Structure 1
């Protein structure tokens, strides 16, 4: 995970990336976290790590839990359609 040393979130309070709700203050926190991710040079590596390690909580690579789950399903469907094996 050498990429983590180049992440835009280095030095940011990790709590920012784990909002307690998706409404009100939590929604604002989620958007603030995603803004940090938006300018990150290793955003894709972060997202891939989160998908591979099946991170269930938090903002990783600019995506929240639901967005990562949806992306994972789309990838699995593409693999199945192509005759591959989804994990």
Structure 2
């Protein structure tokens, strides 16, 4: 079964495409910290990310899916853009 179909049918497992999200520390904290208003502090979100076991998977997801808002894998939108530019 392909992964997209598994997501649609709700059959995703810990080993699947987005299983890392269930283990993410941000899922256990205030989501507003990860999507601050423009000019708002990212300090608390980044602090959570530092000790998260799935930080790498999170950042990889954000880069692959061109996430334009929020803190993903410990990086802000601006930091992810810079990282992508350096990779090109």
Q: TM-score range by the shorter chain?
A: 0.7 to 0.9
In structure 2, the partner of 1:75 is 87
**TM-score scaled by length of structure 2:** 0.76
**Cα distance in 2 for residues equivalent to 1:11 and 1:62:** 16
Q: Is residue 35 from structure 1 mapped to residue 29 from structure 2 by the alignment?
A: no
- Structure 1: state its 5+ residue gaps: 77-87
SS of match in other structure, 1:63: coil
> Which runs of 5 or more structure 2 residues have no equivalent in the other structure?
1-17
* Match for residue 10 of structure 1 among 20, 24, 27: 27
Deviation (angstroms), 1:9? 1.2
- 2:67 equivalent in structure 1: 55
Q: Tell which deviates more after alignment, 2-11 or 62-71.
A: 2-11
What's the CA shift for 1:18? 0.7
Aligned residues: 71
RMSD: 0.9
List structure 1 runs of 4+ shifted beyond 2 angstroms: none
